Amino acid sequence: ELLNCERVWLNVTPATLRPDLADYGLLEPHALGVHEGRIHALVPMQDLKGPYPAHWRDMKDRLVTPGLIDCHTHLIFAGSRAEEFELRQKGVPYAEIARKGGGILSTVRATRAASEDLLYELAVPRIKSLIREGVTTVEIKSGYGLTLADELKMLRVARRLGEALPIRVKTTLLAAHAVPPEYRDDPDSWVETICQEIIPAAAEAGLADAVDVFCEHIGFSLAQTEQVYLAADQYNLAVKGHMEQLSNLGGSTLAANFGALSVDHLEFLDQDGIQALAHRGVVATLLPTAFYFLKETKLPPVAALRKAGVPMAVSSDINPGTAPIVSLRMAMNMACTLFGLTPVEAMAGVTRHAARALGEQERLGQLRVGMLADFLIWNCAHPSEISYLIGVDQLVSRVLNGEETLHG
Ligand SMILES: O=C(O)CC[C@@H]1NC(=O)NC1=O
Ligand SMILES: [Fe+3]
């Protein structure tokens, strides 16, 4: 079947991340062939009989992994929260910063004022950092516009990033991120606007792949979250949730009852919530950079999630307020060092499980014949280096949809 391939990579050592194989799903050296953007052949070198098709490269037994998937980011935004960081380091309490107009709403003001082109230009260097690290699929949320026009503006920028750059973009409508100033006295009316205007418009324009809610005391209540999920269901949009980040409102159980793709943060997740996630196969997305940057102390219940067999994803949560850290590999390292994941779990968390968190587990996240040909060839001695070593460019080759993207 290699002869049907437009391009073949010889002598690659696959970390397949197949759930039916142990650990990384490592195999002996193989030839990997690509045909029409999909993995068409994965053949042990010892079984190989020539001749090879025109395009082939000898990778000298280097490691090949699935492309990395960053399944939870807010990487489109204008403005900066660096001054807040300075105030916080001087001991100014969060509440005072918020009273002075800081926090999410300061990013909202700057994002509303920014043109679509400016938002695009500001996002490019951030998404290019992820591309350099080996991210081949990234989820990007709205949530800093908080008007119909500005939320759709953000989602259009996200779609445009995926069209212009060598990366797959999945979009998530997070209009339920904060109550905008215009609705300060009537949050329920904002929820109604989301359900009756923004979700229908985003769905009809094909701009949103999923709908997310920040379910929290300082965000939206369980009842409001349910309303948003009901509206998303009406428009056949998948749902996700920022759940149990600072308290436990029972949001994870509600999300599981709606068949959510994932629930994210989860520091305050309890056993009832864990059972609900396990029962419905919902992905638990861990966001260690926000935990670290907020200097949180309550750890997510990783051992209980592991015991219950809940698939854990790991993501960067890139956002200007609680995770100004534009690195998925840093998030992998923190998931291990701060949350106690093993490097194997961290790798599954940014491949197979992250794909599931985006509803893409059939096409992405493993090295299997038939899957989309998104893969990375590494200059590293062992796959655990990818979670262990930070800041070194170890990519030899980054392939998206069967096309080499690093070296032209
Ligand atoms: O501070 C920001 O800009 C976003 C905070 C971020 N959003 C959310 O729902 N949880 C968070 O940590
Ligand atoms: Fe987030």
346-362 per-position pLDDT tens digit: 999 999 999 999 999 99
Angle between helices 148-164 and 104-113 (to 10 degrees): 70
Q: Is the pLDDT of residue 162 over 80?
A: yes
Single out the residue of 398, 374, 358, 402 nearest to residue 171, CA to CA.
Answer: 358
Nearest residue by C-alpha to atom 11 in ligand 1: 322
What percent of the chain is modeled with pLDDT above 90?
A: 92
Is the ipTM beyond the 0.90 threshold? yes
248-270 pLDDT per residue, tens: 999 999 999 999 999 999 999 99
Residue range 235-257: mean pLDDT, rounded: 97
How confident is the model at residue 407, as a pLDDT? 67
Ligand 1 within 6 A of 73 CB?
Answer: no
Residue range 34-40: mean pLDDT, rounded: 97
Single out the residue of 172, 102, 124 nearest to residue 326, CA to CA.
Answer: 124
Single out the residue of 134, 139, 161, 146 nearest to residue 104, CA to CA.
Answer: 146
Q: Is the pLDDT of residue 243 over 60?
A: yes
Distance, in Å, from the CA atom of 125 to the CA atom of 55, rounded to the nearest integer, reads 32
How confident is the model at residue 408, as a pLDDT? 46
Q: Is the pLDDT of residue 105 over 50?
A: yes
Cβ neighbours of residue 92 closer than 8 Å, sequence gap 6 or more: none
Single out the residue of 226, 217, 145, 141 nearest to residue 181, CA to CA.
Answer: 145
User: How many other CB atoms sit within 10 Å of the CB of residue 118?
Assistant: 14
331 Cα–ligand 2 center, Å: 13
Q: Is the pLDDT of residue 232 over 70?
A: yes
Cβ neighbours of residue 83 closer than 8 Å, sequence gap 6 or more: none
26 Cα–ligand 1 center, Å: 37
Residue range 228-241: mean pLDDT, rounded: 98
Q: Is the pLDDT of residue 57 over 90?
A: no
pTM score of the predicted model: 0.97
244 Cα–ligand 1 center, Å: 13
Question: Which bound ligand lies closest to the C-alpha atom of 219?
Answer: 1
Residue range 398-407: mean pLDDT, rounded: 92
Residue 179: pLDDT band by 50, 70, 90 thresholds? very high
Atom of ligand 1 nearest to the CA of 323: 12
Helix, strand, coil percentages for the chain (3-state, nearest 5): 40, 25, 40
Could you tell me the maximum CA-CA distance found in the chain, to the nearest angstrom? Answer: 72
User: How many other CB atoms sit within 10 Å of the CB of residue 397?
Assistant: 20
Nearest residue by C-alpha to atom 6 in ligand 1: 322
Residue 223: pLDDT band by 50, 70, 90 thresholds? very high
Atom of ligand 1 nearest to the CA of 144: 3
Ligand 1 within 6 A of 107 CB?
Answer: yes
242 Cα–ligand 2 center, Å: 6
Ligand 1 within 6 A of 143 CB?
Answer: no
Q: In 3-state terms, what secondary structure has residue 283?
A: strand
Ligand 1 within 6 A of 252 CB?
Answer: no
Residue range 78-84: mean pLDDT, rounded: 95
The label of the residue with tokens 């009901």 reads: 230
Ligand 1 within 6 A of 288 CB?
Answer: no
Residue range 239-249: mean pLDDT, rounded: 97
Single out the residue of 191, 177, 184 nearest to residue 231, CA to CA.
Answer: 191
Cβ neighbours of residue 408 closer than 8 Å, sequence gap 6 or more: none
Q: Is the pLDDT of residue 278 over 50?
A: yes
Kindly state the DSSP code that residue 236 receives in the 8-state scheme: T
What percent of the chain is modeled with pLDDT above 70?
A: 99
Atom of ligand 1 nearest to the CA of 294: 12
136 Cα–ligand 1 center, Å: 24
The label of the residue with tokens 């204008």 reads: 78
Residue range 102-124: mean pLDDT, rounded: 96
- Mean pLDDT (the chain) is 96
How far from chain centre, in Å, is Cα 366?
16
| Cβ atoms of 396 and 59 closer than 8 Å | yes
Ligand 1 within 6 A of 290 CB?
Answer: yes
Q: Is the pLDDT of residue 54 over 70?
A: no
